[in-house]
Chains A and B, each alone.
Chain A
């Protein structure tokens, strides 16, 4: 999938849904991963937010953030180069990637602050 995203033209209609699909996959992975670990092997509450689970989910969040930010930049740059329908689709895709990037950052922020299983 990553390969296809990397090579897809910035005006392709799939670009309109890929960023938010990545956001959704990240969201489900983070929530699902948290729930499973909390059900199977919850970290000790006294560790607070400094747990391996927070770290793993945090790294995943940062990786997703970086990937989405790169996709945002790619589409925005293409929108500046192109004209007409191609410009419109690239700019729209860029905006949607930007929102997905901000969405990951905002919803992932609690990983820095809260213990995972309380």
Chain B
């Protein structure tokens, strides 16, 4: 045997050993223990498969609607059932299909595109999935029980309030959706941090795949956009369950507050759905145009602009509720502004096609369908941004048609393109061109037949959500055509399902990198191994596989970074945000029952609130908190996560040996979500104070100033002490660390006790008036945070005593300190808003 042959054999043996080691560390368990899986590929696929089931349910509901409206004066459904069906169709499609499926796609793809092995918080991914599944099941069970919500998918008060919806329907919606939103927030937080901190070495921001930019902005929008709806849902459920009158005018509330909170979430939600889909388009187009995208920087700018401006449009859903013309003009202008970044993206795509050598493969067909439909939807969007036209077509089928053009055109068509494009990566087989083309044309023609015609139905004055109509109205033929189109579209979807069913057995085996793409996921085996990459690449351009087609083989042979799993840990690399340069090795937690158990107990909380067994709900909630804290125990410096060794490599160090690492980012992004909830609370307080006609401030504030100031001082002392102790720890001084942390926790405890006393002496009447109700919610918010801050600090004291926090393991207290600073900040703001301002401005204001 020659030397060359010997070294070749040696390299192959080494690579095979590396794969075996990685397989042992990263593999998914089977049987019942499959429920403990935290791997992003498995969970991403579970998200998408579950979303597909919900999509089919939503689709059947849509066909029921079209059957009812096909002919005038139909009695196919009663009005009660019809309202349940329309409400559930919108709810299922928006909350249980669109967002989770796109999240699932991002969860599956992002680590592969960024050149890493998993997301940063794998147990959070699993927890998010279980919350989504259980929330969705709870919501759907309302249909089986014939008590589904029936107030429309945006649940306007007072129609959804106790007086006009006395059944359980609204409760199912509020509790189920809030449960599902925990899942969206989990994904939002971890996608943000993973994209910012776990990219491959050298993948600077300007070399990041465009899809990751889109997902980054989407994730941040989820983090900021979902809390207003969670806050609104909490208020409405409190009103329905115990009678706190947040939306009842006679008692100082205002139903318009719900509209503000809903659309503060609801409009960005449209872009939360659109952006990932546009990300699919921006990823696929250059591959099929066989050239880099034209205007990468323009596309990035457009995505960031969309993320911000979309939060300034919410009032355009409320043009008819009696807002001053000047305010309407602000929102009208902002609504027109958002067309600019969208147009930039459309021109970027057209220019890429123009300058490239496009191939008309199946994914391109879906993308062309998207371009046609979405541009039409965008144009009717600009029409609706104009106040006079908006008034004219408000609440008609024109709006329904516009919404479907934007959402189906803007989300479903790109999703299908992405589905066909990435299917070979998941299955190792190519999709069927023939069945795929049939599916596309049936869907495209059926969609336009349904919704293009619906614009006319709306312009002729047909209101949305009417369960039937009289023949004399002249809407018969349009509705019939729409219904025929709807069923044609369903046939297209059925064709997609048929293709999928046949694919796994009859699909042609896919060659490596079948579309000749440039992004890293196509350098993986098909289907990918649970660890994705045997070694992690160094990135020098935006198109790693175009620059080096052999990169996939090199990574598989272990020729790049982190080609070692003999330590038995799941490890990835953490990098700098801007440059992507490696800063640390991050050790990830492995499979766990805690996410499933915690989500199950939260489901018990949800169900007990539904049936109004409040002691059980409280008990289950406390169990869930205990489980989540137990889950957090085996983390960071805990020996089960990464035992401290005497001769550890320090270049790069393990993240738990640094001062903050990605954990600080995770806490910061979580606090952004918390901050958005807090701002919604503050908005609610000032909104009701300034706008609600029957709002009355008491002559004297019920909050005792001495207790209010005392609670603030106790907590501020805790924060100051913690900061001082942190500086000493970072300087290497770990003496009496544990007692110091216990004492700081005690100051937090004192803060909590004073808050309880404040609440007690205030003697609020939260079911009598909105003022006291919102005061109670605010104090409860502070109390919950104070309690959690104290608990986390006490745990730090215990961990310091056990040696899990020390000068060599300084990460955790800095992360907890962020939470303490946050609590101090919100306490100061709320103390001024609730305690000081009413005294300055005076009662009766």
Interface residues of A (CB under 8 A from B): 11-13, 16-17, 20-21, 23-24, 27, 30-32, 34-36, 38-40, 85, 88-89, 91-92, 95-96, 99, 103, 106-107, 109-111, 113-118
> How far apart sit A31 and B334, CA to CA, in the bound complex (Å)?
12
Q: Are B309 and A89 in contact (CB under 8 A)?
A: no
Supply 13 further A-B pairs (C-beta < 8 A) apart from A24-B311, A34-B324: A13-B577, A27-B312, A32-B686, A34-B326, A34-B327, A35-B324, A35-B690, A40-B845, A85-B204, A99-B305, A103-B334, A106-B337, A107-B312
Q: Are A95 and B311 in contact (CB under 8 A)?
A: no
Kindly identify which residue among B297, B305, B311, B341 contacts A91, using a CB–CB cutoff of 8 Å.
Answer: B297
Q: Are B308 and A95 in contact (CB under 8 A)?
A: no
Q: Are A92 and B300 in contact (CB under 8 A)?
A: yes
A17-B304, A23-B308, A117-B324 known; A36 vs B690 contact (CB < 8 Å): yes
> How far apart sit A111 and B334, CA to CA, in the bound complex (Å)?
14
- Prevailing SS type, chain B contact patch: helix
Name the distance in Å between B604's Cβ and chain A's nearest Cβ: 39
Q: Does B330 contact A (CB under 8 A)?
A: yes
The digit string for B298-316, where 1 denotes a CB below 8 A from any CB of A, is 1011001101110110010
Residues of A within 8 A of B300 (CB): 92
Kindly identify which residue among A12, A24, A36, A88 contacts B308, using a CB–CB cutoff of 8 Å.
Answer: A24
Name the distance in Å between A69's Cβ and chain B's nearest Cβ: 17
> How far apart sit A30 and B298, CA to CA, in the bound complex (Å)?
29
Which residue of chain B has its CB nearest to the CB of A111?
B326
Kindly identify which residue among A17, A30, A95 contacts B330, using a CB–CB cutoff of 8 Å.
Answer: A30
Q: Are B578 and A89 in contact (CB under 8 A)?
A: yes
Which residue of chain B has its CB nearest to the CB of A109?
B333
Residues of B within 8 A of A113 (CB): 329
> How far apart sit A24 and B579, CA to CA, in the bound complex (Å)?
28
Q: Does B832 contact A (CB under 8 A)?
A: no
> How far apart sit A58 and B240, CA to CA, in the bound complex (Å)?
43
Q: Does B795 contact A (CB under 8 A)?
A: no
> How far apart sit A7 and B691, CA to CA, in the bound complex (Å)?
40
Residues of B within 8 A of A34 (CB): 324, 326-327, 330
> How far apart sit A91 and B324, CA to CA, in the bound complex (Å)?
38
Q: Does B717 contact A (CB under 8 A)?
A: no
Residues of A within 8 A of B333 (CB): 106-107, 109-110
> How far apart sit A62 and B640, CA to CA, in the bound complex (Å)?
58
Which residue of chain B has its CB nearest to the CB of A34?
B327
Q: Does B630 contact A (CB under 8 A)?
A: no
Shortest Cβ-Cβ A-B pairs, 6 listed? A110-B329, A20-B308, A107-B333, A114-B326, A88-B206, A39-B690
Name the distance in Å between A1's Cβ and chain B's nearest Cβ: 14
Name the distance in Å between B209's Cβ and chain A's nearest Cβ: 15
Kindly identify which residue among A21, A27, A40, A114 contacts B329, using a CB–CB cutoff of 8 Å.
Answer: A114
> How far apart sit A110 and B329, CA to CA, in the bound complex (Å)?
6
Please name 29 pairs of A and B residues whose Cβ atoms are closer than 8 Å in the assembled complex, sorted by A.
A12-B578, A13-B578, A17-B304, A23-B312, A24-B312, A27-B334, A30-B330, A31-B331, A34-B324, A35-B327, A38-B324, A39-B691, A40-B845, A85-B206, A89-B205, A89-B578, A95-B301, A96-B304, A99-B341, A103-B334, A110-B326, A110-B329, A110-B330, A110-B333, A111-B326, A114-B325, A114-B326, A116-B326, A117-B324
> How far apart sit A48 and B190, CA to CA, in the bound complex (Å)?
50
A39-B691, A96-B305 known; A107 vs B334 contact (CB < 8 Å): yes
Which residue of chain B has its CB nearest to the CB of A110?
B329
> How far apart sit A23 and B579, CA to CA, in the bound complex (Å)?
27
Q: Are A16 and B690 in contact (CB under 8 A)?
A: no
Residues of B within 8 A of A20 (CB): 304-305, 307-309
Q: Are B297 and A95 in contact (CB under 8 A)?
A: yes
A16-B304, A89-B578, A117-B324 known; A27 vs B330 contact (CB < 8 Å): yes
Q: Which of A24, A103, A115 has the most CB of B within 10 A?
A: A103
> How far apart sit A19 and B334, CA to CA, in the bound complex (Å)?
15
> How far apart sit A76 and B142, CA to CA, in the bound complex (Å)?
56
Residues of B within 8 A of A116 (CB): 324, 326
Q: Are B578 and A11 in contact (CB under 8 A)?
A: yes
Kindly identify which residue among A35, A99, A114 contacts B691, using a CB–CB cutoff of 8 Å.
Answer: A35
Name the distance in Å between A96's Cβ and chain B's nearest Cβ: 6
Name the distance in Å between B253's Cβ and chain A's nearest Cβ: 15
Q: Does B340 contact A (CB under 8 A)?
A: yes
Q: Are A107 and B301 in contact (CB under 8 A)?
A: no
> How far apart sit A36 and B692, CA to CA, in the bound complex (Å)?
11
Which residue of chain B has its CB nearest to the CB of A17?
B304
> How far apart sit A103 and B336, CA to CA, in the bound complex (Å)?
10
Residues of B within 8 A of A16 (CB): 304
Q: Are B330 and A92 in contact (CB under 8 A)?
A: no
Which residue of chain A has its CB nearest to the CB of B691?
A39
> How far apart sit A116 and B328, CA to CA, in the bound complex (Å)?
10
Q: Are B205 and A31 in contact (CB under 8 A)?
A: no
Q: Are B340 and A31 in contact (CB under 8 A)?
A: no
Residues of B within 8 A of A99 (CB): 301, 305, 340-341
Kindly identify which residue among A85, A107, A117 contacts B337, using a CB–CB cutoff of 8 Å.
Answer: A107
Residues of B within 8 A of A31 (CB): 315, 327, 330-331
Residues of A within 8 A of B326 (CB): 34, 110-111, 114-118
Which residue of chain A has its CB nearest to the CB of B305?
A99
Q: Are A13 and B205 in contact (CB under 8 A)?
A: yes
Residues of B within 8 A of A103 (CB): 309, 334, 337
> How far apart sit A113 and B206, CA to CA, in the bound complex (Å)?
42
Which residue of chain B has its CB nearest to the CB of A116?
B326
Name the distance in Å between B542's Cβ and chain A's nearest Cβ: 11
Residues of A within 8 A of B336 (CB): 106
Name the distance in Å between A82's Cβ and chain B's nearest Cβ: 13
Which residue of chain A has its CB nearest to the CB of B297?
A92
Residues of A within 8 A of B691 (CB): 35, 39
Which residue of chain B has its CB nearest to the CB of A57?
B326
Q: Which of B307, B327, B329, B845 has the most CB of A within 10 A?
A: B327
> How far apart sit A3 and B326, CA to CA, in the bound complex (Å)?
32
> How far apart sit A33 and B578, CA to CA, in the bound complex (Å)?
37
> How far apart sit A16 and B305, CA to CA, in the bound complex (Å)?
9
> How far apart sit A92 and B329, CA to CA, in the bound complex (Å)?
29
In the complex, which residues 165-209 of chain B have their Cβ closer than 8 Å to any Cβ of chain A? 204-206
> How far apart sit A32 and B301, CA to CA, in the bound complex (Å)?
28
Q: Are B305 and A40 in contact (CB under 8 A)?
A: no
Which residue of chain A has its CB nearest to the CB of B326?
A114
Residues of B within 8 A of A88 (CB): 206, 297
Residues of B within 8 A of A115 (CB): 325-326
Residues of A within 8 A of B331 (CB): 31
Name the distance in Å between B517's Cβ and chain A's nearest Cβ: 23
Residues of B within 8 A of A85 (CB): 204, 206, 578-579
Name the distance in Å between B540's Cβ and chain A's nearest Cβ: 12
Residues of B within 8 A of A36 (CB): 686, 690
The digit string for B277-309, where 1 denotes a CB below 8 A from any CB of A, is 000000000000000000001101100110111
Name the distance in Å between A75's Cβ and chain B's nearest Cβ: 12
> How far apart sit A57 and B267, CA to CA, in the bound complex (Å)?
26
Q: Are A92 and B301 in contact (CB under 8 A)?
A: yes
> How far apart sit A115 and B325, CA to CA, in the bound complex (Å)?
8
> How far apart sit A24 and B845, CA to CA, in the bound complex (Å)?
28
Residues of B within 8 A of A91 (CB): 297
Which residue of chain B has its CB nearest to the CB of A39?
B690
Name the distance in Å between A3's Cβ and chain B's nearest Cβ: 19
Q: Which of B305, B307, B579 has the most CB of A within 10 A?
A: B305
Name the distance in Å between B309's Cβ and chain A's nearest Cβ: 7
> How far apart sit A21 and B672, CA to CA, in the bound complex (Å)?
14
The digit string for B818-845, where 1 denotes a CB below 8 A from any CB of A, is 0000000000000000000000000001
> How far apart sit A7 and B444, CA to CA, in the bound complex (Å)?
52
> How far apart sit A39 and B689, CA to CA, in the bound complex (Å)?
10
> How far apart sit A88 and B208, CA to CA, in the bound complex (Å)?
13
